Chains A and B, each alone.
Chain A
Amino acid sequence: MRSDSRPPLFLTVTAIGGLLFLHLPILLIFLYAFTTDERTYQFPPPGLTTQWFAVAWNREDIWPPLYLSLKVAALSTVMALILGTLCAAAMARTRFFGRDQISLLIILPIALPGIITGMSLRSAFSIMDIPFSTWTILMGHATFCIVIVFNNAVARFRRLSGSIVEASMDLGANGFQTFRHVILPNLGSALLAGGMLAFALSFDEVIVTTFTAGQQSTLPIWMLNELVRPRQRPVTNVVAIVVFVTTFVPILIAYYLTRGGAETAGGGK
């Protein structure tokens, strides 16, 4: 193999082909939101129209799921930020008995398939006769969002030089002052990035939610129902665009917040 820096043509073609494979399908969602064809997925679309955005806006059944999704995502982000940061602060530098087990426990909710997390919670609710509510949805979401915040925060904690904490203490600050004035400003962007990703993950989650939601529906559950029993198919596309943008923007922000660091956000979804 030659050691020059020009890639072989075959490799370039397959690599770029692979990236296109990852990106082109999403574009179709945008195209189909403008089609005049309501009943099939005909390609190319017989005509183009913007009426579906207005139709979607006026559909009463879309708003409650949207509110619920935003509420659950916001609350589980807050919970994940608190629990994840606490874990990261404890685990970043110290070594102690059971440390590996704890890090496994943090990763487990996202390492095991969603259906296991969902079915486990469903079993527990059944055994303890807990009725489904917004809180049951929240319990699932907060659990798997912890690891996202943890990953971002722990990487930043490790990068944070220990000497600035020592300097802060030498200058007479106590632990809380050091946290408030030294650690938190350094941690800020990593936490913001982790929070953004947790929000995106929760807003979009469907598998665990179907097991913990009962009769309520979040926006992804609404979408799933429309996929199985479609009516006004282009409206589903409009909602898909909303979901896509609502998750896409926080992800991009998270990327720019942690760019250049060792912890570039999202590496450990």
Chain B
Amino acid sequence: MSLTAEPSRIAQPARAILPTRGLGDRISALFWRHPNVLLITLLALPLVWLVVVYLGSLAALLLQSFYSIDEFSGQIRREFTLSTYGELLQPANLDIIIRTVAMSAAVTLGAVVIAFPIAYFAARYAKGHWKALFYLGVMLPLWSSYLVKVYAWKLILAREGIITWATDGIGASAVLNGILALPVIGGNSLSTSYIGTWLVFLYVWLPYMILPMQAALERVPQSMLEASADLGASCWQTLRTVIFPLALPGIIAGSIFTFSLTMGDYIIPQIVGSSRRFIGQAVYQLQGTAGNIPLAAAFAVVPIVIMLIYLTIARRKGAFDAL
């Protein structure tokens, strides 16, 4: 039979049409078989950068804070000591720390009060175009130039600026002078008082409070508000007992930003404010003109420690889910 006569033609299957395998295919196959190799390849470069440049620098900061400065030569003495941290406890330095923390708290409180209506309106009532408008309305100030925003407030708060002009115009200059005459928070003009510093901080960091707050409020179910109303709660009661507790993680998330950013800023109090210093200014001056890098580093560790404590508390309250 022909089957036996030509066995090779039938028994041997036709060769599959496979494309030639290049280097790219081989590497892809390796990644497919060993996903971890792919993972390590992807992460290697960014991780090396972040660990060496960023964590390395943070370690350098810690290391510097344990060095000290030689009082006679002004050189950095590279041996372990706690004396630099001891210097932080001097009354003048302790004042700086307390002043900074108090300002951060005040800014955070102010931001909560002003951000709430905006966030609530955007989360619950804004629809369609209004929603986009509110989003852009918060996002654009957040992203627009920091220095330009601070400069704008320098213009507003200056002695001959728009606020003085407006209060004169409506005959309220007595009120403005009364506020400026207050002890501690008052000053020569708004641009050289704590009120001015507080206002600018509030303005610059406000969007950081609005966004997480809005995200948290958007997750409050409508049905809960209806249930609260059905059970006879007034607007105020609903706000206090239903909305506020549910929005709290978002508020804490926002406060992480406002608190931390205020604590680390040195430009705003330098441009708008009295000559009394904040942590940021102390760090900047010590590392620059004074050349005391160890003490500057020790000062910079203070906000880190405070933020770590703050973050631990925030984590317990579930604020990270709202970020």
Contact = CB atoms under 8 A, between A and B. Distances in A.
SS of B interface (majority):
helix
A77 interface: no
B144 A248 contact: yes
Interface string A5-32: 1111001101100110111011011001
Contact of B152 (A12, A26, A120, A121): A26
A245 to B, nearest CB: 9
Nearest to A177: B24
B134 A112 contact: no
Interface residues of B, number: 109
B291 to A, nearest CB: 10
Contact of A42 (B51, B160, B226, B264): B160
Interface stretch (A59-67, A103-111, A183-191): A103-111
A115 B39 CA distance: 33
A217 interface: no
Contact of A19 (B29, B47, B134, B280): B134
A114 B257 CA distance: 12
A186 B232 CA distance: 51
A28 B143 contact: no
Interface string A37-56: 00011111000000000000
Main secondary structure of the interface of A (DSSP, over half): helix
Contact of A29 (B39, B152, B307): B152
A210 interface: yes
Nearest to A128: B60
A127 B287 CA distance: 13
Interface in A134-162: 139, 142-143, 146
A41 B154 contact: yes
B265 A112 contact: no
Nearest to A107: B323
Contact of A206 (B31, B120, B147): B147
14 contacts: A11-B117, A26-B149, A43-B162, A83-B49, A94-B35, A105-B50, A119-B296, A120-B54, A120-B61, A127-B63, A175-B28, A240-B151, A243-B148, A248-B140
Interface of A: 1-3, 5-8, 11-12, 14-15, 18-19, 21-23, 25-26, 28-29, 32, 40-44, 82-84, 86-87, 89-90, 94, 96, 102, 105-106, 108-109, 111-117, 119-124, 126-128, 139, 142-143, 146, 172, 174-177, 197, 200-201, 204, 206-207, 210-211, 220, 223-224, 227-228, 236-237, 240, 243-244, 247-248, 251-252, 255, 259, 264, 266-269
Q: Which 7 A-B pairs have the closest CB atoms?
A: A113-B264, A175-B28, A15-B121, A120-B57, A124-B60, A14-B117, A174-B28
